[in-house]
Amino acid sequence: MLRFVVRRLLQVIPTLLLLSLLVFWWLRSLPGGPATALLGDKATPERIAEINRGLGLDQPILTQYWLFLGRVVSGDFGTSTITGEPVLSEIARFMPATIELSVVALLIAVLLGIPLGYLAARYRGRPLDVATVIGTLVGVAVPVFFLGYLLKQYIAVDLRLLPPSGRLSTGIDATDVTGFAVLDGLLTREFDASLDALRHLVLPAVTLATIPLAVIVRITRASVLDVLGADFVRTANAKGLAPITVRSRHVLRNALLPVSTTIGLQVGLLLAGAVLTEKVFVWGGIGTMLADAITLKDYPRLQALLLMGAVIYVVVNLLVDISYAVIDPRVRLS
């Protein structure tokens, strides 16, 4: 198992190298650049050249890339052209908000999606199943930002049930420990802060969870249907086992194999969805940071964020592969 993990981690290195080169090249081939973005109307060729010289953008692209790699190895991703702050410390500040949002969204999607998919399969063709199939179709099809605005308008603005934006209400005195607002409140025993943070989380998390939830429900349903017809389930029934044993040990364990792959793939989409969701709910996480960086052509920020996204994606899928080996002996032992 350890060798498997190490081998997989080593495979990541060439992937990241290639990806970083592509990102580096693509960003610089876009029209405009940090200088024009920063200067706006006041841009003159002289001032643009001056800024570019300051940022090292006047050098050949391969030289820039080589210098970039050298700095990255020592942990320096450069400073943001917008704020002048080191990119890494920016990320460290904004990251917890996005992780909090994504983790809660993924939990909603998984904890709701698997049971719902299972029930839909079990009551195939009945009203519950039909409702689930239609619901998931809508869930996949509705754009994230549209759903976000809809929820915000009805639940937060019209009904005033939940706060419409931000992570904490003004006037709440919360101590920052880890950056995860809900967790901080629990750690410092400021339970009112925790609750307030949780209330702020609901709408964005539900918005972000919609698509992964719909996908997980569908995959679980299809997978359970497949397994329910399998010969070994017939064997389990022929043994006269209790229904709960047949369901958990024989049906679900086999049905979850494709579901775990899907969850891994959803994490990538979750990062993309977080950008839109954070925008709608003024969340102030990595998504906001990324959106600003794209508008203002903040190369160092974009490079760091895109690479970080890739690393997260790779790590999550490695975890999925490991979980696969845990669930399926055929993978583990061959």
Site membership for another protein, residue 79 (CB under 8 A)? no
CB of 4 to another protein, least distance (A): 18
> Which window, 129-137, 151-159, 245-253, 291-299, contacts another protein (CB under 8 A)?
245-253
Identified binder of another protein from the candidate list 31, 40, 171, 240, rule CB under 8 A: 240
Site membership for another protein, residue 249 (CB under 8 A)? yes
Q: Quote the CA–CA distance of 162 and 196 in Å, as a whole number.
A: 10
Which residues, at least 6 apart from 72, have a Cβ–Cβ distance to it below 8 Å? 20
CB of 86 to another protein, least distance (A): 48
> Which window, 99-107, 168-176, 204-212, 233-241, contacts another protein (CB under 8 A)?
233-241
Site membership for another protein, residue 236 (CB under 8 A)? yes
> Which window, 23-31, 79-87, 208-216, 228-236, contacts another protein (CB under 8 A)?
228-236
Identified binder of another protein from the candidate list 245, 248, 282, 295, rule CB under 8 A: 245
CB 136 within 8 A of CB 112: no
Residue type, 189: R
Please, which residue, 254 or 317, has the CB nearer to another protein? 254
Q: Quote the CA–CA distance of 164 and 67 in Å, as a whole number.
A: 44
> Measuring CA to CA, how many Å separate 328 from each of 3, 166, 224, 315, 319?
18, 42, 16, 20, 14
Site membership for another protein, residue 269 (CB under 8 A)? no
> Which window, 19-27, 158-166, 208-216, 252-260, contacts another protein (CB under 8 A)?
252-260
Site membership for another protein, residue 15 (CB under 8 A)? no
Site membership for another protein, residue 60 (CB under 8 A)? no
Site membership for another protein, residue 248 (CB under 8 A)? no
The token pair at 247 is: 């369901």
CB of 330 to another protein, least distance (A): 5
Q: Quote the CA–CA distance of 145 and 151 in Å, as a whole number.
A: 10
CB 233 within 8 A of CB 246: yes
Q: Helical H runs in 123-190?
A: 127-141, 144-151, 181-187
Taking the CA atoms of 151, 152, 157 and 161 in sequence, report the sign of the dihedral they define.
positive
Please, which residue, 134 or 326, has the CB nearer to another protein? 326
> Which window, 32-40, 107-115, 227-235, 260-268, contacts another protein (CB under 8 A)?
227-235
Instruction: Tell me phi and psi for residue 79, to 5 degrees.
Output: -115, 150
Q: Quote the CA–CA distance of 201 and 100 in Å, as a whole number.
A: 9
Secondary structure of residue 334 in the 3-state scheme: coil
Please, which residue, 45 or 329, has the CB nearer to another protein? 329
Q: Which residues bind another protein (CB under 8 A)?
A: 230-232, 234-243, 245, 249-250, 253-254, 257, 327-330, 333
